[in-house]
Amino acid sequence: MAIVGIRRQPPLAGASCDPDDLRLQVQARLTEVAPAHSGLLSTAAREALLGQGKRVRPVLAMLAAAHVGGEPEDALDYACALEMVHAASLVLDDLPCMDDASLRRGQPTLHRRHGEDTAVLAAVALLNQATRLVLQTPAPAETRLAALDLLTQAIGFDGLSEGQMRDLRDDARDRDETALRQINDLKTGALFVATVRGGGLLGGGDVQDLARLSIFGEAIGFAFQLCDDLLDVCSTVDAVGKDVGQDDDTTTFVDLWGECRTRAAVRQSLAKAVEAVGHDSPLALYVLDFFQQAELGV
């Protein structure tokens, strides 16, 4: 039996769907729910979580709740859990055994500041905290468990972990379009689908709402990965706040398609996403504005 959201509400009225307002709400709530224990582990986890970030996934989750007729705040704690998962994934990605990155958001990576052992444990603790936060979401138990299932699926063998494993161990210089798309869908797309589908679930979306949000999430996840590939070859460390040229030894869509076709694919993915939710949806308006500000000519 399909599990749907809390309730069907009338169209959004009065609640703010301004991304800047939502971002401030997320930041305030993250400060409240971030690890507060004394000691190095808590300090490292807070640094990873509360540093400068765009909060794209949290904002998308809250907009998805509003899109289906709920209030953005219905998905606030879920949004914060998503940011914890995202922060943990960045900490792990940056490790010497993974991408061996030195910069993240304009600062030395967490393992450079506190050591690899602390970084790994901080990431594990953030993943655990994310699970607890979803379970404490003020929603019916069935809905909480459904949201948690979405999130954990996006982290594990059907999402981030499997995607990263394939990225590390598959022949990085001998990937065709199909293999590369599978890796990108697992590493990036899965969490975006969980982001908007979970937000829609908590906002009271029905089965059709959630299906359309899944299409939106898949398309946006692909567009984000393509933009990340473009930034790796077109941008600078100062502009993006992290190492560039990390993909030099790896086949990306820019390698397969070239920059012009990759930009065209971003536009196609955005068009697919907008079609899924409607041109007037706050979700569509937000992502179009976000990619326009990326200044990649897409």
The pLDDT value given to residue 141: 96
The pLDDT value given to residue 295: 56
Q: Is the pLDDT of residue 251 over 90?
A: no
Percent of the chain with pLDDT over 90: 70
Would you call 295 exposed, middle or buried from its count of C-beta atoms within 10 A (0-12, 13-18, 19+)?
exposed
Percent of the chain with pLDDT over 70: 87
The pLDDT value given to residue 248: 54
List pLDDT tens digits, range 124-140: 999 999 999 999 999 99
Look up residue 184 and give its two tokens: 């990108």
Please answer whether residues 119 and 97 qualify as being in contact, where contact means their C-beta atoms are separated by less than 8 angstroms: no
The pLDDT value given to residue 293: 82
* Distance between CA atoms of residues 253 and 24, nearest Å: 34
The pLDDT value given to residue 10: 38
* Distance between CA atoms of residues 290 and 21, nearest Å: 15
Q: Is the pLDDT of residue 174 over 80?
A: no
Q: Is the pLDDT of residue 298 over 70?
A: no
List pLDDT tens digits, range 182-191: 999 999 999 9
For residue 195, the surrounding DSSP H or E stretch is: helix 190-202
Q: Is the pLDDT of residue 81 over 50?
A: yes
The pLDDT value given to residue 107: 83
List pLDDT tens digits, range 194-222: 999 999 999 999 999 999 999 999 999 99
Give the three-state DSSP class for 221: helix
* Distance between CA atoms of residues 275 and 297, nearest Å: 21
Backbone angles phi, psi at 102, to 5 degrees: -110, -20
pTM of whole model > 0.75? yes
The pLDDT value given to residue 175: 82
Q: Which of 284, 72, 294, 99 is nearest to 187 (CA)?
A: 99
- Output 167 or 192, whichever has higher pLDDT: 192
Q: Is the pLDDT of residue 224 over 80?
A: yes
The pLDDT value given to residue 287: 95
Confidence label for 247 from pLDDT (cuts 50, 70 and 90) = low
Q: Calculate the CA 51 to chain-centre distance.
A: 16
CATH number given to 19-293: 1.10.600.10
Look up residue 80 and give its two tokens: 């914060």
Mean pLDDT of 251-268: 92
Please answer whether residues 160 and 184 qualify as being in contact, where contact means their C-beta atoms are separated by less than 8 angstroms: no
Longest dimension (CA), the chain: 52
- Output 51 or 71, whichever has higher pLDDT: 71
Confidence label for 170 from pLDDT (cuts 50, 70 and 90) = confident
The pLDDT value given to residue 296: 53
Mean pLDDT of 266-292: 95
The pLDDT value given to residue 37: 85
The pLDDT value given to residue 276: 98
The pLDDT value given to residue 243: 52
Mean pLDDT of 114-122: 93
